[in-house]
């Protein structure tokens, strides 16, 4: 097991190298120029050229890529072209809101979606099943920002229960922290709940038709015991897989959700950096997201052994 973990962690190195090369090349080829953005609407071409030279953007591709990789190998993600702050510092400032949003969304989604999927499978063909599936279709179909605006309108503007926007750090108290996260987490969690609920239902239906479930019933096991002890545990591997894959959905959704609810997280940092062509920040954030995603996949692989002892590494 440990050897497997070490092998997988080491395998992230070439993955990250490919991501680094891909991100750098893509930004190099993409239209836009941070020097022109810095110089502003009123600048002359000479102004832009001077700024480009001062930022080192006039250097050849390979020189810039080499310098960037060298810095990364020394633990330096670079400095933002615009804010003049280290990228690692900017990421550190933004990581807590995003992490909070994702964790709350994850907990909310899993705790709602899995029971929903289980119940839908148990009550297959009934109005409960159809209601769950209708919710799942709705969750997939309605964009996050629309859900966000609707929630803000109802629960903040009309009912005045929750704030419209912003983020309160956890250290300032659980309740204020949570107040700022409920609406974004519900908005972001919609699609995630739909995804997990559908997969849970489909997997549970398959498991519930197995012989050992019939045997359990014949032995007189209770419905709850059948559903949660016998069926759900055996359905867990695909569910855990989809939860892991869904992390990518969450990362993508966080970009929109953070903009709608003015949460100062990594999603907004990424959007701002892309719009301004702040290359070091974009590269740093994308590398971080890639690394997180690789780690999540590793974690999911390890969880398989927990749910299915037949799996060995």
Contact pattern for other proteins over residues 175 through 214, marking x by CB under 8 A:
----------------------------------------
- Retrieve residue 234's tokens: 């055996």
Contact pattern for other proteins over residues 273 through 312, marking x by CB under 8 A:
--xxx-----------------------------------
**Rounded Cα–Cα distance for residues 2 and 305 (Å):** 13
**Residue among 84 and 127 whose Cβ is closer to other proteins:** 84
Beta carbons of 161 and 182 less than 8 angstroms apart: no
Q: Binding to other proteins by residue 44, rule CB under 8 A?
A: yes
**Residue among 148 and 246 whose Cβ is closer to other proteins:** 148
Give me the torsion for CA of 263, 265, 267, 271, rounded to 10°.
Answer: 80
Which residue carries 């899995």 as its tokens?
A: 114
Beta carbons of 35 and 57 less than 8 angstroms apart: yes
Q: Binding to other proteins by residue 271, rule CB under 8 A?
A: yes
State the burial class of residue 295 (Cβ atoms within 10 Å of its Cβ: 0-12, 13-18, 19+): middle
Which residue carries 């700024």 as its tokens?
A: 51
Out of 46, 209, 219, 223, name the contact with other proteins by CB under 8 A.
Answer: 46
Q: Binding to other proteins by residue 80, rule CB under 8 A?
A: yes
Contact pattern for other proteins over residues 133 through 172, marking x by CB under 8 A:
----------------x--xx--xx--x--xxxx------
CA distances from 39 to 36, 49, 50, 283, 298 (A): 5, 9, 9, 22, 44
Q: Which residues bind other proteins (CB under 8 A)?
A: 31-34, 36-46, 48, 50-51, 54, 80, 82-85, 90, 93-94, 149, 152-153, 156-157, 160, 163-166, 259-262, 264, 268-269, 271-272, 275-277
């Amino acid at each position: 097991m440990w050897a497997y973990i070490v092998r997988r962690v080491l395998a992230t190195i070439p993955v990250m190298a490919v991501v680094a090369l891909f991100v750098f090349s893509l930004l190099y080829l993409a239209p836009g120029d941070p020097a022109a953005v810095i110089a502003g609407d009123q600048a002359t071409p000479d102004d832009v050229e001077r700024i480009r030279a001062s930022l080192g953007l006039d250097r050849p591709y390979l020189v810039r890529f080499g310098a960037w990789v060298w810095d990364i190998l020394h633990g330096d993600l670079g400095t933002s072209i615009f804010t003049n702050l280290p990228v690692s510092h900017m990421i550190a400032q933004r990581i807590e809101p995003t992490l909070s949003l994702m964790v709350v969304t994850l907990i909310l989604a899993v705790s709602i979606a899995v029971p929903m999927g289980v119940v839908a499978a148990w009550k297959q063909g009934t109005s409960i099943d159809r209601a769950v599936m209708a919710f799942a279709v709705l969750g997939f179909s309605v964009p996050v920002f629309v859900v966000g605006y609707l929630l803000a309108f109802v629960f903040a503007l009309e009912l005045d229960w929750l704030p419209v926007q912003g983020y309160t750090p956890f250290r300032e108290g659980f309740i204020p922290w949570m107040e700022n996260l409920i609406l974004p987490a519900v908005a972001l969690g919609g699609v995630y709940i739909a995804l997990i609920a559908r997969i849970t239902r489909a997997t549970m239906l398959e498991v519930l038709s197995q012989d050992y479930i019939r045997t359990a019933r014949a032995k007189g096991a209770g419905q709850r015991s059948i559903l949660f002890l016998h069926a759900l545990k055996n359905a867990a591997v695909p569910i855990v897989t989809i939860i892991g894959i869904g992390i990518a959905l969450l990362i993508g959704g966080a970009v929109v959700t953070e903009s709608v609810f003015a949460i100062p997280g990594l999603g907004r940092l990424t959007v701002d950096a892309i719009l301004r062509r702040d290359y070091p920040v974009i590269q740093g954030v994308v590398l971080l997201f890639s690394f997180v995603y690789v780690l999540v996949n590793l974690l999911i692989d390890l969880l398989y052994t927990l749910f299915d002892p037949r799996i060995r590494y």
